Amino acid sequence: MINVAIIGASGYSGSELLRILLRHPEVSVTTVTAASSAGLPVDQVYPALTGECELTYKPLLPDDLAGADVAFVALPSGEAMKIMPKLQTMVGKVIDLGGDFRLKDTAQYEKYYKHQHASPEFLPGAVYGLPELNREAIANATLVSNPGCYATSIILGLLPLAAQGLVSLKGISVAAVSGISGAGRSSSVDMSFTELNENVRAYKLTTHQHVPEIEQALAAAASGAEVTVSFVPHLVPITRGIHSTIHATLTKESDARAIQDAFALYYALHPFVRVRKNPVQIAAVTRTNFCDIHPVVEARTGQVVITSVIDNLVKGAAGQAIQNMNLMFGLKETTGL
Amino acid sequence: MINVAIIGASGYSGSELLRILLRHPEVSVTTVTAASSAGLPVDQVYPALTGECELTYKPLLPDDLAGADVAFVALPSGEAMKIMPKLQTMVGKVIDLGGDFRLKDTAQYEKYYKHQHASPEFLPGAVYGLPELNREAIANATLVSNPGCYATSIILGLLPLAAQGLVSLKGISVAAVSGISGAGRSSSVDMSFTELNENVRAYKLTTHQHVPEIEQALAAAASGAEVTVSFVPHLVPITRGIHSTIHATLTKESDARAIQDAFALYYALHPFVRVRKNPVQIAAVTRTNFCDIHPVVEARTGQVVITSVIDNLVKGAAGQAIQNMNLMFGLKETTGL
Amino acid sequence: MINVAIIGASGYSGSELLRILLRHPEVSVTTVTAASSAGLPVDQVYPALTGECELTYKPLLPDDLAGADVAFVALPSGEAMKIMPKLQTMVGKVIDLGGDFRLKDTAQYEKYYKHQHASPEFLPGAVYGLPELNREAIANATLVSNPGCYATSIILGLLPLAAQGLVSLKGISVAAVSGISGAGRSSSVDMSFTELNENVRAYKLTTHQHVPEIEQALAAAASGAEVTVSFVPHLVPITRGIHSTIHATLTKESDARAIQDAFALYYALHPFVRVRKNPVQIAAVTRTNFCDIHPVVEARTGQVVITSVIDNLVKGAAGQAIQNMNLMFGLKETTGL
Amino acid sequence: MINVAIIGASGYSGSELLRILLRHPEVSVTTVTAASSAGLPVDQVYPALTGECELTYKPLLPDDLAGADVAFVALPSGEAMKIMPKLQTMVGKVIDLGGDFRLKDTAQYEKYYKHQHASPEFLPGAVYGLPELNREAIANATLVSNPGCYATSIILGLLPLAAQGLVSLKGISVAAVSGISGAGRSSSVDMSFTELNENVRAYKLTTHQHVPEIEQALAAAASGAEVTVSFVPHLVPITRGIHSTIHATLTKESDARAIQDAFALYYALHPFVRVRKNPVQIAAVTRTNFCDIHPVVEARTGQVVITSVIDNLVKGAAGQAIQNMNLMFGLKETTGL
């Protein structure tokens, strides 16, 4: 059995990790930490887990992590980089669900996250945990940086096209909508039911912190070509799910067939990406680790429109982190998912 | 008092017309027709109107319309063109909320609506009823063709830029989300609560019938320049509202200020468009005839991102139709709205 | 014109007062106060009011109220009783939307509200502002205590039966569901979208503070008979509306007719109560001041089941307060509503 | 492996059976039938199952069922009784999710279901499939009649009290709310998103077909005492879940402790019922087979208020049916759930 610690287990990503790992056949969750809920039984904060989980949240103390084979860090961005120096001395493998180790360029980090990086020495060794891009490197990594939720959906929608040079990588535009759980377990008026129900609104127009991570991953897939993405995220009144709609300009005459083939080829051996002939929908991936993708060529405008859906808490966070864990421990990628 | 007939008054657009017109100070609703509900009191189908409306739905018989000063037609697209020859002999002014008289080019109509046009002789005289584009022509029209809901939101988001040549009119991309009332009063499994709740899905990718109407209106504003728009509509689980997110490429170095000025200037005398400095949201326009617009320049990518919101049943249908009626009868544009 | 001050105008009840009063033909809103939003323009907090309201929130200073003909107090329960002594010296008529002046018995107040009453000297003169029970007294009052939202829905569902002795007043049971706006503008995790969406839960089982107010009003209607109500409120994921389901035991053989007649008679001259032959629904009263009621006799069990719906922010708060204001100023009860 | 056939597999209960059984370690689903979708691959109707299910819906032909060890019937009430004579010759064990075999008294059946019973000869042998009431009989049954969704929630909320005589069994009143999936996969306007969203309404007041089944089960638990329940079901805008609120009169002085003890004792060995000290909520049981129950004594009125929640598609339908299957095949009750 793999002994697992979850650091920051009382938020939505942390509790989703717990929900899935409790049923994972090769895992034993030994420690769950949470600052504000320390001392409370897990099932008091998440009554759905009553009878399934006897753990109690602890404060984060390094000694409690001794014996863990892997630690998942589900803290707000900016926290993981503070604890990483100590954490890596205690636990051999770390999977960080936040944004601290995703960007190779600290200047980009500081521009989008609005604070300095506290432990840049980990950046060279951190592997960006998108299995459909970096499967082998993940298997050998000791620090995996799990992708952002929007980023997962958008990168997967463009990877085959970037890899084969089928679209212009400058001037890609994306509008994506997210369920509210993506904003975390929050006590602000802005996140209250009455403010969000029967409402849709964009936020962080052109400034969202997933932009550089998307550009970095697509550039890697395209052998370093320059990539610019204009991205607008939106909140819609659902709990789970991301739907991304991507417009890109075809680089040459192409037809639906060529695009469809590029997707089919790229994802043939990736079990969690399903390329669809019909429009995708969030409900088809809810509570699963799948990403469903539907590319459409519009000959009239010379564009390809890709729609891509995931569950933000599963393929966009906890599920993908467990997919990474499976790879890091030599398990079948789909185990427990 | 203006005597009003509503043809097709039992659908959502028709009942919204009724809801607003019952409180309009210059209007008396004299006739409401509905095929399937003929013979039923209005308040049996819409209990919210109990005590506010004593009318009974009638079948559509031309003689019943004698005496009406204006008829609103809220039938499914394809129906208005069949009755228009007779209707215009009975009623001096007609406002059609469907798509039959929006496109000047019957080839475009037949491509997007998938059937032949039955009365093209009305097309030259029909005025596209977007007051922010055609206020004077509307005031003098006998047949006004009310814009589509998505089209209203998108055209208003681009009009000032098209008029001043501030963006490239080829390669505009739009992703818009709509509340479910936009699909009409429907009995299909696809429109059932369980299929739509906690779900988001795109539909009619690149083939929606509002595309040619958007391109036609923007071309008119841009003195006939060629316009191509790639448009993806989506359904989100709310009842009312449209949120459009528009990406366009700036034609030259421009800053937020220039774009903001173009919007401020264009809409200075249009009471129902509010140009915003902060991100817009559907909830701010629900049950109103306002369109809220927020343009953002992204210097890094050379794009402008415009977000635009309306209530699809008000500014996107019934409210705009009444705004047009006000203009046609010489009333203040905002009367009763 | 009646000069109106709204104290506590930035919450949901306060902003609903503002929304309705801005269109009331006999009213001018002169002052709006709000503690946390003081200094902000109203339309910054409620963008929906942009272009309709030029006011700025002020801190609550007695001198600012000079010249007001009436003050609405929309503060959390416990606040109005602190300011009432000063307030009544400044403004001749006060309508309090909170719970401080509803109960004649301070022991009941302290039991359910969990703190002492600060100004019991106002209780004898305060009139319980349910026009369907106290229309004349309201017209002559200087301090009207507006009923609670649940209480309005439940009392109206039972008034005719209590007045005519048609049901046993002991052992009435009520289950009611409320939209989330009833909880106020809140920043707690419990009121966040993700916690409430796709969820239903009861709260304050048997201990809700509207219980004594319901019992007091029904006892008054029944000439002082003893009344006990067992009440369970629930939260459901909608923004507005209350649906109450009431079970009471018939006192003697009775049929649907007798019950229906009692309702018809009692409410014949009350314009905002609609007695229905078909099941009621929240959507039929949303954004209106109506209360729809549907009584059903179940002969098999000897019970009458009454369902009753209101909009918690209108008939359950702001609308009823304005209905009271209309009565207090000799206007038609329905003016502006 | 147990070979399973699902008859009526394209509705919500049928597809939920499929979703759970596909992961059940002891089961192989061999046949799925569906009238309207016959010939379609399952994953075309339920895209969420893509990659998890290769089956195609077949028309219902008896020969296709040869070899099945058990058949689940998930047809609308009234259909199972027509096919049962033939079905029991083909398949040794049948679990019917509809209402045809729940009531021992055909007069009650005909009163509530509004048609004659076609195969009353099966009623004596049919076992009411509530494991918490009939675990042993289920284990030995060849025909199990799975309880109704509301009935499951309400009976479980009262069983310990009925068994110990702690409440009066006459005059119990219940108000329950259900998610919309309980109404089945439907194409009526009444079930459309726009009609149900932001709305709550009661239906079948006092006439719901689960009433006699509740009374029959409680009478059995109470050694045949007479039981009358006044029941009002409601629709609320969520997809899954039932919340029942039950009022019953205590038979003698009792305190919260005695009631709590009765629940704890009764359910000590029933793994899917969790007796709670805090108010229950639907979200805590969604997609699980749990029933959470919270009893509260109100000394002031002499009543006990029980709130009880389930997922209508799991413990209220497919999950409970699989729990019954586990018992019928000698498996651990919780296997695969």
What residue type is assigned to position A92 of the chain? Answer: G
**DSSP E strand boundaries for B101-199:** 127-128, 143-145, 170-178
Shortest distance between the Cα of B194 and any Cα of chain A, in A, equals 10
What residue type is assigned to position D160 of the chain? Answer: P
Q: How far apart are CA B50 and CA D49, in angstroms?
A: 46
Angle between helices C149-164 and C211-221 (to 10 degrees): 30
At CA B171, angle to CA B170 and CA B175, rounded to 5? 130
Q: How far apart are CA A83 and CA A96, in angstroms?
A: 11
Residues (pLDDT < 70) of chain A are: 253
**From edge to edge, which strands make up the β-sheet containing D242-249?**
D201-202, D228-235, D170-178, D242-249, D303-310, D291-298, D273-275
- Spatial CA neighbour of B291 closest among B243, B239, B332, B327: B243
Label residue A171 exposed, middle or buried (CB < 10 Å: 0-12, 13-18, 19+): buried
Residue in this structure with the two tokens 């289950």, named with its chain if needed: C175
Q: What is the pLDDT of residues D277-298, one digit of tens each?
A: 999 999 999 999 999 999 999 9
Q: How far apart are CA A285 and CA A293, in angstroms?
A: 11
- Spatial CA neighbour of A233 closest among A245, A216, A247: A245
Residues of D in contact with C198 (CB under 8 A): 238-241, 282-283, 286
Q: What is the pLDDT of residues D311-337, one digit of tens each?
A: 999 999 999 999 999 999 999 999 999
> Which of C170, C232, C300 faces D305 most closely, judged by CB atoms?
C232
Q: What is the pLDDT of residues C167-221, one digit of tens each?
A: 999 999 999 999 999 999 988 999 999 999 999 999 999 999 999 999 999 999 9
Mean pLDDT, chain B, whole residue set: 96
The string of DSSP codes covering A236-270 is -S-SS-EEEEEEEEBSSS--HHHHHHHHHHHHTT-
The string of DSSP codes covering D60-128 is --GGGGTT-SEEEE-PPTTTHHHHHHHHHHH-SEEEE-SSTTT-S-HHHHHHHHSS--S-GGGTTT-EE
- Spatial CA neighbour of A259 closest among A296, A293, A227: A296
**Residue among C9, C29, C126, C149 flagged as catalytic:** C149
User: Which residues of D are marked as active site?
Assistant: 149
- Both tokens of A178, joined, read 């997210």
pLDDT of residue B64: 84
B275 has pLDDT over 90? yes
Query: Alpha carbon of A295 to those of B153, D51, D143: distances in Å?
Result: 26, 19, 49
Label residue C332 exposed, middle or buried (CB < 10 Å: 0-12, 13-18, 19+): exposed
Q: What is the pLDDT of residues C275-320, one digit of tens each?
A: 999 999 999 999 999 999 999 999 999 999 999 999 999 999 999 9
- Spatial CA neighbour of C234 closest among B127, D280, B56, A44: D280
> Which of D12, D193, D237 faces B191 most closely, judged by CB atoms?
D193
Q: How far apart are CA B145 and CA B97, in angstroms?
A: 6
> Which of C282, C294, C305 faces D200 most closely, judged by CB atoms?
C282
pLDDT of residue C253: 64
- Say if the Cβ atoms of C194 and A180 lie within 8 Å: yes
Residue in this structure with the two tokens 């206020």, named with its chain if needed: B135
- Both tokens of B146, joined, read 């009310």
Report yes or no: C308 and C280 within 8 Å, Cβ to Cβ: yes
pLDDT of residue A253: 64
Across the C:D interface, residue pairs with CB atoms under 8 Å apart total 148
Chains within contact range of chain A (3+ C-beta pairs < 8 Å): B, C, D
Report yes or no: A203 and B305 within 8 Å, Cβ to Cβ: no
Residue in this structure with the two tokens 């005909």, named with its chain if needed: D110
- Say if the Cβ atoms of C50 and B286 lie within 8 Å: no
Q: What is the pLDDT of residues B139-149, one digit of tens each?
A: 999 999 999 99
- Say if the Cβ atoms of D236 and C240 lie within 8 Å: no
- Both tokens of B151, joined, read 């089209």
- Say if the Cβ atoms of D50 and A285 lie within 8 Å: no
Q: How far apart are CA A234 and CA A204, in angstroms?
A: 9
- Both tokens of B162, joined, read 């098209």
Annotated catalytic, C149?
Answer: yes
Residues of D in contact with C296 (CB under 8 A): 205-206
B75 has pLDDT over 80? yes
Q: What is the pLDDT of residues B16-52, one digit of tens each?
A: 999 999 999 999 999 999 988 999 999 999 999 988 8
Assign 3-class secondary structure to A148-172.
Answer: CHHHHHHHHHHHHHHHHCCECCEEE
Percent of chain D surpassing pLDDT 70: 100
Across the A:D interface, residue pairs with CB atoms under 8 Å apart total 38
Residue A49 neighbours by CB under 8 Å, 6+ apart: A15, A18, A19, A22, A42, A43
Residues (pLDDT < 50) of chain C are: none
Residues of C in contact with A181 (CB under 8 A): 194
pLDDT band at B253; cut points 50, 70, 90: low
State the average pLDDT over residues B159-178: 96
Shortest distance between the Cα of D184 and any Cα of chain B, in A, equals 9
**Residue among B144, B149, B285, B318 flagged as catalytic:** B149
Shortest distance between the Cα of B199 and any Cα of chain C, in A, equals 12
pLDDT band at D66; cut points 50, 70, 90: confident
> Which of C171, C232, C281 faces D245 most closely, judged by CB atoms?
C232
Q: How far apart are CA A43 and CA A9, in angstroms?
A: 12
Mean pLDDT, chain D, whole residue set: 96
- Both tokens of B6, joined, read 């509503």
State the average pLDDT over residues D238-259: 91
Report yes or no: A261 and A253 within 8 Å, Cβ to Cβ: no
pLDDT of residue C110: 97
Asked casually if ipTM beats, i.e. exceeds, 0.90, the reply is: yes
Q: Could you tell me whether strands B170-178 and B242-249 are parallel, antiparallel, or unpaired per DSSP bridges?
A: antiparallel
